[in-house]
């Protein structure tokens, strides 16, 4: 028998993970990012870029009201984001296929350190300026002909892996 939301036995937990969304603009993805972040106990979401469409009426369909429960902010300038990451001593992990990326399964999570997980835009992925300041760049091994997947699907896999360690 399927359990209701109230009957599930999952432990409520928040992880020291801040999800950095690099120029993500599709509203369905933004809503889904809130939903998956809430499900995996993400501490905070940072939307990086100008004119991020955080119109709750439009994202609510996919967020299922989780945008009301996950702390989030918008940072428009790289210098401000870089300061935020440096001042808070994050281990910066980018989720991107790159010449120097390693499989997600090999990610190293330093003990007692906050994680900034960067996910990239639907069109261009993660910007070079963010890749350059990353401590680790990880990718999801894929076995089909396509070399990319939807940003929310990728974030879901990464958050599952990181919170399972």
Local structure of residue 124 (DSSP, 8 states):
T
Q: Quick one: pLDDT at residue 77?
A: 98
If one compares 1 and 124, the residue with the highest pLDDT of the two is 124
The kind and range of the H/E element at 21 are: strand 15-22
In a domain, 3, yes or no: no
Of the candidates 24, 38, 46, the one whose C-alpha atom is nearest the C-alpha of residue 159 is 38
Residue 72 exposure: Cα atoms within 13 Å on the Cβ side: 24
pLDDT tens, position by position, 104-113? 999 999 999 9
- What pTM value is reported for the model? 0.94
Residue-range definition of the domain harbouring residue 27: 15-164
Contacting residues for 16 by C-beta, under 8 A, at least 6 apart: 43, 113, 114, 115
Kindly indicate the confidence band of residue 32, based on its pLDDT and cuts at 50, 70 and 90.
very high
Among residues of the chain, what percentage have pLDDT more than 90?
84
pLDDT tens, position by position, 97-153? 999 999 999 999 999 999 999 999 999 999 999 999 999 999 999 999 988 899 999
Check which CATH number belongs to the domain holding 93 and give it: 3.40.1280.10
Please give the average per-residue pLDDT across 69-87, as a whole number: 97
- Number of domains composing the chain: 1
Q: Quick one: pLDDT at residue 58?
A: 81
In a domain, 5, yes or no: no
Bridge partners (DSSP) listed for residue 147? none
What is the chain's mean pLDDT, rounded? Answer: 94
In angstroms, how far is CA 61 from the centroid of its own chain? 19
C-alpha span between 26 and 39 (Å, rounded):
20
In a domain, 41, yes or no: yes
If one compares 57 and 122, the residue with the highest pLDDT of the two is 122
In a domain, 48, yes or no: yes
Of the candidates 69, 62, 27, 65, the one whose C-alpha atom is nearest the C-alpha of residue 47 is 27
In a domain, 120, yes or no: yes
In a domain, 10, yes or no: no
In a domain, 78, yes or no: yes
């Amino acid at each position: 028998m399927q359990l209701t939301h109230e009957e599930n036995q999952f432990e409520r937990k928040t992880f020291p993970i801040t999800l950095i969304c690099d120029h993500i603009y599709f509203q369905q993805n933004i809503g889904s990012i809130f939903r998956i972040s809430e499900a995996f106990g993400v501490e905070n979401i940072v939307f990086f870029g100008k004119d991020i469409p955080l119109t709750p009426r439009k994202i609510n369909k996919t967020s299922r009201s989780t945008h009301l429960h996950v702390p989030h902010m918008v940072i428009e300038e790289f210098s401000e984001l870089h300061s935020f990451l440096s001042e808070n001593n994050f281990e910066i992990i980018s989720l991107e296929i790159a010449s120097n990326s390693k499989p997600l399964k090999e990610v190293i999570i330093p003990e007692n350190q906050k994680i900034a997980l960067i996910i990239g835009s639907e069109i261009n992925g993660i910007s070079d300026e963010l890749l350059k300041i990353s401590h680790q760049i990880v990718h999801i091994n894929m076995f089909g002909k396509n070399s990319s997947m939807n940003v929310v699907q990728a974030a879901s896999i990464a958050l599952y892996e990181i919170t399972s360690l």
